[in-house]
Structure 1
Amino acid sequence: MGILEDVLRVSNHRDTPRDYHVLPDEFVEPLDMNQVDAILLYQLTENSSLAPRQFTYLRDCFQRVQVQKRIAKKSQQADSSALLEIERLVTGYGLVLFQLEEFCPGEDNFLRYIEQIISRADEYTDFLSQMIQRAIQEDSLLEFIESFFTSLKKFIDSLKLFNLNESHASSAVLTLFELFVSFKPVAAVITKVSGFFAEYDVKPNLFEKVTLLGPILTLSPLNASVALHNYGDNLERTQQQTNIIHESLQTEHKMILDRLFFIIDRIIRGSNESRTDLLSYFAQIINKNHLRRGDHANANKLASNAFVTNIALLLVRFSQPFLDVSFKKIDKIDVNYFNNLNLILDLSSETRMNSDFKEADEFYDKNKKSAEHKPNFISDCFFLTLAYLHYGIGGAILYEEKVTPQVKRMREEIERIKRATESQDVFARFAAMQLPSLERSLQTMQSIKEALQGFFSHKNLQLEVFDFISGASTFLVRVIDPFHQFPFKQIHLPLIPDQVGVENVDNADYLRANAPVPFKYYPEFVVEGIINYTQHISKFVMSPLFNNPRLHSFIEMATVILRCPELVSNPHLKGKLVQVLSLGAMPMRDDTPGFMMSCLENNDLVSDNLLYALLDFYVIVEKTGSSSQFYDKFNSRYSISILLEELYKIPKYSQKIIWQSKNNADFFVRFVARMLNDLTFLLDEGLSSLAEVHNIQREMENRARGVAPTREENDEELQSKLASSERQAKSSCGLAEKSITLFNIFSKDIPGAFCTPEIVDRLAGMLDYNLASLVGPKCRELKVKDPRKYSFDAKTLLKSLSTVYINLSEQPEFISAVARDGRSFSKEMFDRSVHILGTKTGLVNDEFCVKLLQFARDAQDQKIAEEEEDLEMGEAPDEYLDPLMFTIMKDPVILPASRVTIDRSTIKAHLLSDSTDPFNRMPLKLEDVIPNDDLRHEIHLFRHKKRMDRG
């Protein structure tokens, strides 16, 4: 046998080896190079025994050529031209098979070729590489890859599963993509292959199914089938067992992402056109998936978490070079990116930072760049990554937040049905029929939930995301900086003068008018994605925030946004920011300082501005603009209280607080007033709810013993009311606990701030009322089972309230205010408090008891003295009395809209909570009130005359 026969496995002898093909008579002996073309044509078109393995036959011939070439080289045979010619023809026919339909009758043959390649992809790479090079030389590359990838996509579509569970097929497909795009000419034109883009009207959930890259970009542990396969077998496994599954999938996912990055990177580097096409493809996907962050979105109608998070992670990697710690390329990101005509992102329905749609559109119309000016790759990639962070990874966050309570409810429902099936009624039999379906649903949802937890606990991946966030945070501060010089030059805050008044600040129009350009017109998602991600990821043990040297970038951005209320109009975003900062400030489990505390203390931008920002936001968050704004504010203020408590331990911060109280009194009093409002409400709500819990528990115990019901509700209604009251008690008591802690801290070092005329009477009334609740006749109503369940400890609360009295015990204004409280004050309350705290529990020392009793005596003496003075004053004319407090006015003023005369301290106190005239609800500022000097003089004479008469 000659080389030709060996390579092509053909002969015209009847006694040839079994794996050789016998040629027909027209092929005469001896076979020579002149017949190679005809032999190959015969083999491919007429030799039925080869069908449908023609492509594999060519591959085998190619490999035998390579063996013969190595033998020839070893034996130093000079002439290998015959082998090169056979190789050229074999490769050429390989291209022909994928280009001319007559060589491949019936489209199933294309699929069979692909199946053969997929089955042993590594064995085909050399042959395919040669074919690609030949196609490049012959200028037929696009036709070849069009046919090849269209067939490959049909093969993928024909599979029942294409995911990580089917690792062989998925790995082989990735190998083929890697092979092809490793040739730059292929990478340059692959975006022109049919199916690379989806049709304009494609549904959001179909991109991953109908586009060329869709299936490989969906290879992820977050795929529902993969999650069920890995996590669904045993829902009762230990956390350690779950972690083992996490780690295995994380390793696999990392390898997949590395391979995907190689593919996408080659396409981006292929040509300007392929780069633009790829970014447009990614933009098309995310533009149609904004509902992934919608509250009522149907996940089945949107792109999957697997698909969009993979793209997000790939874009994050592409962003790394221009967001590294040196920031040498940060100026390549266009600050005025959204002024471009050629935007790939759809902003038509995007909420802006602090402008409405009309204002933003007018700005862009006036400041549009020319059509020739196109965004650079760095800017496109950066802002596209921010969109994927919000709608892609952010959508996965929202999905987890929704699925977690669903899993809990479904578990409870299954348990309820199982208990019901123990009876033999009709309902029980019907419920039992539902169980298998419910258990399958639980298995699926629980698996998806655990897959998401595995994804977010994958530290290496999340470190990459947070590296992007750190760089993006620095860039956003750069945009906010009027000179766009940050971080190379420090930004100076505030950007506009602070708007401080004792009335409730409600200056949205002023803030919007003075918000910085172009930041005010930026879509809100560029900040929201960062905040949502950071808030979510901080809950994980493997959080990338812990001990991260780049954490300061995020904290700087948070500080700037909180310090400058004109930047972001959405209070919910700022509420999430303070929540993240509070998590970072709280002491660790080993009582070491929180992981953000070093930055909060040592970063100048942060330490110079954060305190004022927190105090100001504590006030401003009163109005969030949503239907739940009354309750939203408590969560934000709880986070701020945690921060203030921890920051107060740092000398520079405690000194700043004291300075604010003395030198910016109106500002600080406004803050104290909000604390007082909240604590008043929370204690009232918490103690009332505890009393209701007590009453319901007692009622249920009595009914269990057979006592006749004393309430109208049936047992089920009673149970529902108990659950509601328990939730309310736990929430209110928990929030109140943090507020009273701040009262303890600040009233000790800044007592004067709590004794201003507009605050002191309300503070005294709140303290007296709650002290009476804890030690008075109704205190028994607060006794409930397991009080810790409700964050309630009566003795600790009593000590905290008593501490405030002691801290303010040397302030004459406070003593007088307590004495004036005719509703709740009595010296006996303090006697009982001392008995409980000192004698009964030993929670306080003798010095504490002596001070508390002395304060009670001082207040009692003051009360007697003021009662005597009131008697001496007798009946004062009605026009001398404050219309709200019914006390004789000291500094009467006229309200400009209602023309009512009221004491200045009264209206000042009112404006701390409400910026309107209390008599007609018209807007009102303190500086607009009109002093009533004539009446003040009359009242002064009246008081003087009464005192003279007494004397």
Structure 2
Amino acid sequence: MDLSDETRIKATSEEANEWAGKNKSPNTPSPNFISHIFYLTAAMSHYGYLKTISTYNDLSKVMEEMQRHLDMLTGDGSWRNGPRQARIEAAIKLTKDEITKVKAQQLSFEVQLLDPELVFQSIGFTTFLSVWLIRQADPRKTHPSPVVELPLPQEVPMSFRVLPEYLVEDIVDYLVFAVRNVPESFALSGKTEVMQFILTFLTSTWYIKNPFLKSKINDVLFMAIWPYGRERNGILGSMLNTHPMALKHLMPALMHFYIEVEQTGASSQFYDKFNARRNISFVLKAIWDNPVHREALNVEAKNVDKFVRFVNLMINDVTYLLDESLSELTQIHNIQVEMDDKATWESQTPEHRRERESTLRSLERHASSYTTLGRSTVELLKLFTAQTKTPFMMPEIVDRLAAMLDYNLDALAGPRCQDLKVRDAEKLRFNPRALLSDILQVFLNLADQPEFVCAVAGDGRSYKKELFERAADIAIRRTLKSVTEIEKLRLFVVKVEEMKATLEAEEDLGEVPDEFLDPLMFTVMRDPVILPSSKTTLDRSTIKSHLLSDSKDPFNRAPLSIEDVIPNTELKAQIDAFLTERRKNSGSFQQPQDSNVNIPKMEVD
């Protein structure tokens, strides 16, 4: 079998050829009979069985496309009793006939691919291949006796790098197929090998070059906890909460991959990351009740730089996903209102109606995806802020977190919330009450943190006392929160109002010289630093926040790390002197001496 044209796991063709030349000599023993059979079986599986599975999967895509075409043809039925009726009915019949043919093909494939004996043998070979592959990466070459130590070394051995990529791809593709279609077939064997394969290459993702392949491994983990039959935790759910390897490495693996998918180098990385992170969120929620996993999170949080980056990406995702989903829900609402006005709607041209219906279906597909992803990320934020709070209070995180929460609270409980009332909310997977409850819970989780109180008070864009009053009213009427939780929210608002008054008094600085203002945030810099490449000065917290998502100078896109920035001590001294002088001239702000403030009661119907 000629491998010269095959993509390798992590090596280029030139590196593979050079390695083969160095390891080829007259004294090299020829592969024995068992080795020949092993590689021939792998090749047969790749070119035969896995190719057949790929063809079967393609039929599902064809079926989905034909169903969308049928939905488009059917439309709202306005073509009935019109000049186009005969032509459209013929097209509908033709499409239904094609769907029937494709369904028959699917059933024919399933009869062969899901044959119990073939499935049993295929799972056995796939798990054997996965164990063999891990052994090639294991420095001791002993896996599974003893099991490989994770994470793997940073230096990837060339003997592993030059292996054909399809070996990994075939393992992943078959596991996806089997876990999705015949999960009960793993009842007797294969679970441990699947878990070890997933954890090995999610904790040590640098062993695989292809970002899509790494995401597929994450997909297998996600599907492996889907319930089936009487098994509520999927094929791996119970093992992830009991097996020593999972208890030690699962949390670090998930956090590592959550960060890695932000920048994979693929052209579609921006959208791919949301599906990968949705899967991670699902797994994290499935294991969250296990105290060993929660303690593993606390251990990971001690690596402050890594955890802060993880938190920052979570906030970025929530910001984008909720903004997109709420925007599209508003557009869906507007189209539905437009269609409800029957007289005006029927007066429009057929082309206009078809275009608006097509836009509506497209918005519904996107909104469904965004609401699901956004909700799962908010749930993750709720869990993490309950468990560990310090990383969320970092200067480069806390202001953005507060602004994001205030903005989305305004969308869900403010005047704009009426625009989110859409028909078939369940179809769009939109549950505004649950989303509001989760966002309020994040506020409650962090209500005792002074940095968070200050950040909410400093949010001049979305924070309003009245907004929290409306949210509390909704939470009481819809029984989203208990009376005790609402009282805690009220106390939080009182603290925010006090801090807001303090900040307003302190920040009444009059006219501020432009050179004292951060060029990105337009706030007074407290710790100005110089970027070495662009020579731009901005606040340290601003550039730290930027570098959490992008390792480039924002002004000229040159590579940059926080260690490279240069403190601008001269400018800092000037700013400090300016602030001292202005505060002296304006008089010191006197904070309330009595801490036993009266908490105003919010009126609730």
Report the TM-score, using the length of structure 2 for normalisation. Answer: 0.90
Counterpart in 2 of 1:690? Answer: 329
Could you tell me how far apart the structure 1 residues matched to 2:303 and 2:361 are?
45
Counterpart in 2 of 1:570? Answer: 210
Counterpart in 1 of 2:501? Answer: 864
Work out whether residues 339 and 345 of structure 2, in 8 Å CA contact, stay in contact via their aligned partners in 1.
Answer: no
After TM superposition, list the pairs within 5 Å mapping 1:701-850 onto structure 2.
701-702=340-341, 704-706=342-344, 714-838=352-476, 840-850=477-487
Indicate whether 1:647 and 2:287 are aligned.
yes
Is there any run of 5+ residues in structure 2 with no aligned partner, and where?
589-605
Give the drift of 1:559. Answer: 0.7
Q: Percent identity?
A: 38
Task: Give the 3-state SS of the residue equivalent to 1:789 in structure 2.
Answer: coil
Q: State the Cα deviation string for residues 831-868 of structure 1 (Å, max 9, x = none).
A: 00110111x21221101111112112211221121011
Could you tell me how far apart the structure 2 residues matched to 1:787 and 1:856 are?
31
Q: 919, 924, 928: which is aligned to 2:564? A: 928
Task: Give the 3-state SS of the residue equivalent to 1:787 in structure 2.
Answer: coil
Could you tell me how far apart the structure 1 residues matched to 2:340 and 2:78 are?
24
Work out whether residues 183 and 228 of structure 2, in 8 Å CA contact, stay in contact via their aligned partners in 1.
Answer: no
Q: 317, 336, 354: which is aligned to 1:678? A: 317
Could you tell me how far apart the structure 2 residues matched to 1:638 and 1:844 are?
26
Give the drift of 1:888. Answer: 1.7
Task: Give the 3-state SS of the residue equivalent to 2:502 in structure 1.
Answer: helix
Q: 143, 149, 153: which is aligned to 1:492? A: 149
Q: State the Cα deviation string for residues 428-462 of structure 1 (Å, max 9, x = none).
A: 369749957x6765444222201222334333321
Indicate whether 1:471 and 2:107 are aligned.
no
Counterpart in 2 of 1:396? Answer: 52
Q: 127, 138, 154: which is aligned to 1:481? A: 138
Could you tell me how far apart the structure 1 residues matched to 2:105 and 2:311 are?
46
Structure-2 change in CA distance of 1:387 and 1:861 (3 Å): farther
Structure-2 change in CA distance of 1:891 and 1:567 (3 Å): same
Task: Give the 3-state SS of the residue equivalent to 1:864 in structure 2.
Answer: helix
Give the number of equivalent residue pairs.
Answer: 585
Higher RCO, Cα 8 Å, sep 6+: 2
Work out whether residues 834 and 849 of structure 1, in 8 Å CA contact, stay in contact via their aligned partners in 2.
Answer: yes
Is there any run of 5+ residues in structure 1 with no aligned partner, and where?
1-344, 498-513
Structure-2 change in CA distance of 1:420 and 1:783 (3 Å): closer
Counterpart in 2 of 1:518? Answer: 159
Task: Give the 3-state SS of the residue equivalent to 2:557 in structure 1.
Answer: coil
Could you tell me how far apart the structure 2 residues matched to 1:520 and 1:413 are?
44
Q: State the Cα deviation string for residues 711-748 of structure 1 (Å, max 9, x = none).
A: 99710000000001101110000111111111111101
Give the drift of 1:584. Answer: 2.1
Work out whether residues 474 and 554 of structure 1, in 8 Å CA contact, stay in contact via their aligned partners in 2.
Answer: no
Task: Give the 3-state SS of the residue equivalent to 2:180 in structure 1.
Answer: coil
Structure-2 change in CA distance of 1:414 and 1:565 (3 Å): closer
Q: State the Cα deviation string for residues 387-446 of structure 1 (Å, max 9, x = none).
A: 33333222222212221232354467679599999869588369749957x676544422
Could you tell me how far apart the structure 2 residues matched to 1:800 and 1:649 are?
17
Work out whether residues 493 and 563 of structure 1, in 8 Å CA contact, stay in contact via their aligned partners in 2.
Answer: yes
Could you tell me how far apart the structure 1 residues matched to 2:114 and 2:161 are?
34
Task: Give the 3-state SS of the residue equivalent to 2:181 in structure 1.
Answer: coil
Give the drift of 1:487. Answer: 1.6
Work out whether residues 191 and 235 of structure 2, in 8 Å CA contact, stay in contact via their aligned partners in 1.
Answer: no
Task: Give the 3-state SS of the residue equivalent to 2:427 in structure 1.
Answer: helix
Counterpart in 1 of 2:170? Answer: 529
Structure-2 change in CA distance of 1:429 and 1:936 (3 Å): closer
Counterpart in 1 of 2:7? Answer: 351
Specify the structure having the higher radius of gyration (Cα): 1
Could you tell me how far apart the structure 2 residues matched to 1:948 and 1:433 are?
81
Structure-2 change in CA distance of 1:431 and 1:728 (3 Å): closer
Worse-superposed segment, 805-814 or 359-368 = 359-368
Work out whether residues 387 and 525 of structure 1, in 8 Å CA contact, stay in contact via their aligned partners in 2.
Answer: no
Task: Give the 3-state SS of the residue equivalent to 2:538 in structure 1.
Answer: strand
Structure-2 change in CA distance of 1:429 and 1:364 (3 Å): same
Q: 423, 428, 431: which is aligned to 2:86? A: 428
Structure-2 change in CA distance of 1:710 and 1:527 (3 Å): same
After TM superposition, list the pairs within 5 Å mapping 1:111-150 onto structure 2.
none
Counterpart in 2 of 1:98? Answer: none
After TM superposition, list the pairs within 5 Å mapping 1:908-927 onto structure 2.
908-927=544-563
Counterpart in 2 of 1:43? Answer: none
Worse-superposed segment, 479-488 or 821-830 = 479-488
Task: Give the 3-state SS of the residue equivalent to 1:705 in structure 2.
Answer: helix
Q: State the Cα deviation string for residues 344-397 of structure 1 (Å, max 9, x = none).
A: x22222221112222222222222243873222222222232233333222222
After TM superposition, list the pairs within 5 Å mapping 1:1-20 onto structure 2.
none
Could you tell me how far apart the structure 1 residues matched to 2:79 and 2:513 are?
76
Give the drift of 1:520. Answer: 1.1
Work out whether residues 222 and 279 of structure 2, in 8 Å CA contact, stay in contact via their aligned partners in 1.
Answer: yes
Counterpart in 1 of 2:574? Answer: 938
AA at the equivalent of 1:888: V
Could you tell me how far apart the structure 2 residues matched to 1:421 and 1:690 are?
28
Q: State the Cα deviation string for residues 262-303 of structure 1 (Å, max 9, x = none).
A: xxxxxxxxxxxxxxxxxxxxxxxxxxxxxxxxxxxxxxxxxx
Q: State the Cα deviation string for residues 466-497 of structure 1 (Å, max 9, x = none).
A: 11111111111110011212122332222336
Task: Give the 3-state SS of the residue equivalent to 1:544 in structure 2.
Answer: helix
Structure-2 change in CA distance of 1:712 and 1:756 (3 Å): farther
Work out whether residues 414 and 435 of structure 1, in 8 Å CA contact, stay in contact via their aligned partners in 2.
Answer: no
